[in-house]
């Protein structure tokens, strides 16, 4: 008798995150980004507006369009299942929430004229977290050092010398969160 092949929901945290981002992106496109700006983009706003605090966390779900969405989701779907299998859903959700809050807060405080949306901070957290895969006590994986130099170094250089709509700050902060989470998770 042949065994049936079934589709599994193998990475619940990552797949749920991707589905939320997909719905938010579709609604954003249908509303000409009004919903994205209102609920899924962090920017300098009044502390009296309760949405200001919500957006510190929800900005990671919003994307400026399909190419922005697809770029971020490709990395998340590539790295996320491996990380979720190794570290568990809870740790990944914690890393995503911390990354969202820290990037949202830093953007709010230090970049008052910049609106921030998208999951690229989480992507960079996952990239750096993935480089910790071979971590052992008393050792620093060469892959971790190379990832920091290549990915984070490029963001520092781009942040200093390139004028574009990409938040290098979110990438750098996400990478730092990934490094801290990776170190703490692999110490045990």
Query: Per the structure block, which two tokens stand in for 131?
Result: 């480089």
Read off the DSSP letter of residue 11. Answer: -
Q: pLDDT tens-digit profile of 158-173?
A: 766 666 556 777 888 8
Model confidence at 131: pLDDT above 60:
yes
- Quick one: pLDDT at residue 168? 79
Q: What is the pLDDT of residues 171-186, one digit of tens each?
A: 888 888 988 888 888 7
pLDDT for 103 = 94
Tell me what the mean pLDDT of segment 153-158 comes to: 75
To the nearest 10°, report the CA torsion of 9, 13, 16, 20: -160
User: pLDDT higher for 173 or 152?
Assistant: 173
Q: What DSSP string runs through the chain? A: -PPPP------HHHHHHHHHHHHHHHHHHHTTTHHHHHHS-B----TT-HHHHHHHHHTTT--SSHHHHHHHHHHHHHHHHHHHHHH-HHHHHHHHHHHHHHHHHHHHHH-TT--B-SSHHHHHHHHHHHTTTT--TT---HHHHHHIIIIIHHHHHHHHH--SS--HHHHHHHHHHHHHHHHHHHH-
pLDDT at residue 162, as a whole number:
64
Residue 85 CA to residue 7 CA, distance in Å, equals 16
The Cα–Cα gap between 140 and 142 comes to 6
pLDDT attached to residue 133: 72
How many angstroms separate the CA atoms of 133 and 31, rounded? 41
Q: pLDDT tens digit string along 85-130?
A: 999 999 999 999 999 999 999 999 988 888 999 999 999 999 989 8
pTM value? Answer: 0.88
- pLDDT value, residue 165: 56
Residue 34 has a pLDDT of 97
Burial class (CB in 10 A: 0-12, 13-18, 19+), 11: buried
- Of 7-11, 14-18, 149-153, give the lowest mean pLDDT range: 149-153
pLDDT band per the 50, 70, 90 thresholds, residue 6: confident
Q: What is the pLDDT of residue 147?
A: 79
User: Per residue in 52-98, pLDDT tens?
Assistant: 999 999 999 999 999 999 999 999 999 999 999 999 999 999 999 99
């Amino acid at each position: 008798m042949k065994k049936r092949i079934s589709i599994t929901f193998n990475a619940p945290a990552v797949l749920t995150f991707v589905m939320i981002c997909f719905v938010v992106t579709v609604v954003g496109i249908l509303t000409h980004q009004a919903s994205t700006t209102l609920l899924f983009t962090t920017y300098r706003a009044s502390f009296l507006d309760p949405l200001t605090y919500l957006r510190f966390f929800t900005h990671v779900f919003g994307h400026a369009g399909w190419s922005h969405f697809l770029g971020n989701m490709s990395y998340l779907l590539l790295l996320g299942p491996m990380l979720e299998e190794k570290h568990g859903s809870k740790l990944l959700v914690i890393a995503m929430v911390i990354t969202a809050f820290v990037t949202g807060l830093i953007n709010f405080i230090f970049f008052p004229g910049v609106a921030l949306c998208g999951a690229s901070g989480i992507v960079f957290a996952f990239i750096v977290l993935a480089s910790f895969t071979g971590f052992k006590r008393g050792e620093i994986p060469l892959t971790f050092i190379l990832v920091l130099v290549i990915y984070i170094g490029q963001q520092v250089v781009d942040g200093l010398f390139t004028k574009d709509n990409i938040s290098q700050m979110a990438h750098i902060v996400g990478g730092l969160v990934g490094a801290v989470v990776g170190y703490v998770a692999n110490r045990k």
